[in-house]
Amino acid sequence: MGRREMFKVVGFLRILLLLFAHVHETTALEEREKHRNAYATIMYVGTTRDYDFYVATRVMLRSLAELDVDADLVVIASLDVPLRWVRALEQEDGAKVVRVENLDNPYKDQSNFDRRFKLTLNKLYAWRLVEYDRVIMLDADNLFLQKTDELFQCGQFCAVFINPCIFHTGLFVLQPSMEVFKDMVHDLEIGRENPDGADQGFICGYFPNLLDRPLFHPPPNGTKLDGTFRLPLGYQMDATYYYLRLRWSVPCGPNSVITFPGAPWLKPWYWWSWPVLPLGISWHEQRRQTLGYAAEIPAILIQFAIYVGIITMTRLARPSFSKICYRRSEKNISFIQTGLKVIAVWSILASYVVPFFIIPHTVHPLIGWTIYLFGSFGLCSIAINAFLLPMLPVLVLWLGIFGSLLVMAFPWYSDGVVRALAVFGYAFCAAPFAWVAMVKIMACLQVSLEREAFFPKLGESSPPPGFNKLY
């Protein structure tokens, strides 16, 4: 075969490859464009928990993708959301990111306004997604047990009544409409009454008669309904219902979605939420199966290595503390001893507080509690060895925390009331041990201070009168 014929063959193959790539791209585009509905959520920054909600949003999007929902995944992100987050949402999670300006919240000066809800009115941008027939608007604290595509058959607005009289805006169905969006923005400008200053109060005020509307039942022929409807509770089961019986007892609805309203520091993605709230482990199981924990592992390994070093160094340094000089003739020795007692007690308390705040918030609870217990033990070893204290009294609180975790995580309680009584009984029985341990620590600390000294006068070539050596 000549060189000219070879070039012709190569050129022909290139043309075939280009045609194949074009057909593949066109097919993928058509596949994407065929979705006439969307699951949407909002993302903004400006709080201390921005990264935590970013992780929660990604887990929810991944779980929806795992359920193979027949809809686009849309994130309505404010312009100040970091670009690296936007790229991760688009390239790794398969979401469409719509960048928007933050809607000004005219209720931010109300006396009862919670600052963490300042930008939640960005949810109103969902009505601008007019390229979709229906949109399911979601908060990041929703845990999907099964897909809910039948909700796209609902009407112009549908929501769940978690509260008997007020529907919840953590999940609702809407029909996008620029006319409705402009009307909502107008209401914001004129200051429509809003009891909580957040999206919850505003949207409830905009759809005041939803409680009187019929319950949604998806038509078997797949058609879309008109009007407004109440959604069965099974589309957004409040986790609080679970904790009473430690099982679900929601008779209406498909039991598809769990939501976690309430205290912001007990959201399911925080490692300390389990076993305090048992359902937290379900969220982390969903994260393990979708997003994983690769982002947090390096920080955990670094902390583990630091604690190992602390335990080793303080143990090796302990013998040197028995050779420190002290001045018995000082008139202010009692003041120094009192100060050292305060330092010792605060160092013990810090040993239990510091590890809690430096562990990555969204790590798996089993990893989080393990590194917390190991870290508090490591930091307690500083006080034990520096002040020559007995180990057991100092670690009574450590043992108490470990025991409380076992009591709360016990999987065979008959209901939530029995579990609560067991936790209360454990705390009642453990309190005397904590008191005895504190008394023992103070007594040992007094003996240690009378026997040892912790602030010898440095720079002296020879000990002045009144100094004694204990070696």
Q: Which residue has the higher pLDDT, 326 or 246?
A: 246
What does the alpha-carbon distance between residue 471 and residue 289 come to, in Å, rounded to a whole number? Answer: 60
**Residue recorded with tokens 């040892």:** 452
CB-facing half-sphere around the CA of 316: CA atoms within 13 A: 6
Residue 308, pLDDT above cutoff 90: yes
Instruction: Say what the pLDDT of residue 111 is.
Output: 83
Q: Residue 340: inside a domain, yes or no? A: yes
Residue 274: pLDDT band by 50, 70, 90 thresholds? very high
In this model, does residue 115 exceed pLDDT 90? no
Based on the domain organization, do 64 and 170 belong to the same domain?
yes
pLDDT at residue number 460: 45
Is residue 215 in some structural domain?
yes
In a shared domain, residues 302 and 260: no
**pLDDT band of 453, cuts 50, 70, 90:** very low
* Exposed/middle/buried for residue 268 (C-beta within 10 Å: 0-12, 13-18, 19+): buried
pLDDT at 51: 95
Is position 463 within any domain? no
CA distance 258 to 142: 6
Q: Are residues 340 and 268 in the same domain?
A: no
Instruction: Assess whether 420 and 445 both reside in one domain.
Output: yes
Whether 123 is covered by a domain: the verdict is yes
Write out the residue range of the structural domain in which residue 345 sits.
295-320+333-453
Q: Check whether residue 283 and residue 368 sit in a common domain.
A: no
- Amino acid (one-letter) located at 91: Q
26-34 average pLDDT score: 48
Both tokens of residue 68? Answer: 């193979």
pLDDT for position 164: 87
Beta-sheet strands, E only, within 11-95: 37-43, 72-78
* pLDDT for the residue 28: 43
Predicted confidence band at 263 (pLDDT cuts at 50, 70, 90)?
confident
Residues 299 and 287 reside in one and the same domain:
no
- Clarify whether residues 285 and 308 are in a common domain: no
Instruction: Name the domain count of the chain.
Output: 2
Task: Look at residues 61, 117, 106 and name the one whose alpha carbon lies nearest to residue 86.
Answer: 61
Neighbouring CB atoms inside 10 A of 300's CB total: 18
Which of these ranges, 15-29, 130-144, 197-211, 224-238, has the smallest mean pLDDT?
Answer: 15-29
Q: Are residues 220 and 237 part of one domain?
A: yes
**Contact status, residue 231 vs residue 194, Cβ threshold 8 Å:** no
Measured between alpha carbons, how far is 307 from 309 in angstroms, rounded to an integer?
Answer: 5
Handedness of CA 236, 216, 121, 196 (dihedral sign): negative
Residue 21 maps to a domain: no
Say yes or no: 312 and 200 in one domain: no
Q: What is the CATH number of the domain that holds 142?
A: 3.90.550.10
Q: pLDDT value at position 307?
A: 96
Residue 31 belongs to some domain of the structure: no
Q: What does pLDDT average to over the chain?
A: 86
- 155 & 187 share domain: yes
* pLDDT tens digits for range 131-181: 999 999 999 999 999 999 999 999 999 999 998 899 999 999 999 999 999
Of 113-127, 329-343, 362-376, 437-451, the range with the highest mean pLDDT is 362-376
Parallel/antiparallel/unpaired status of strands 326-327 and 257-259: unpaired
Asked if 283 and 361 sit in the same domain, the reply is no
| Range 400-405 average pLDDT | 97
Residue 216, judged by CB atoms within 10 A of its CB (0-12, 13-18, 19+), counts as buried
pLDDT score recorded for residue 14: 59
Q: Which of 151-165, 263-277, 331-345 has the lowest mean pLDDT?
A: 331-345
Taken in order 439, 442, 448, 451, is the CA torsion positive or negative? negative
Whether residue 406 is contained in a domain is answered as yes
Smallest CA-to-CA distance from 355 within 405, 317, 398, 391 is with 398
Res 344 pLDDT > 50: yes
Element containing residue 142 per DSSP (H, E):
strand 142-144
Report the C-alpha gap between 470 and 345 in whole angstroms.
25
Spell 372-395 as b/e; 16+ CB within 10 A means b. bbbbbbbbbbbbbbbbbbeeebbb
Query: What's the sign of the alpha-carbon dihedral 24, 30, 33, 37?
Result: negative
Question: Is residue 139 in a domain?
Answer: yes
| 278 plus 316 within the same structural domain | no
The whole-angstrom separation of Cα 298 and Cα 46 is 26
- Find the range with the poorest average confidence among 121-130, 253-262, 424-433: 253-262
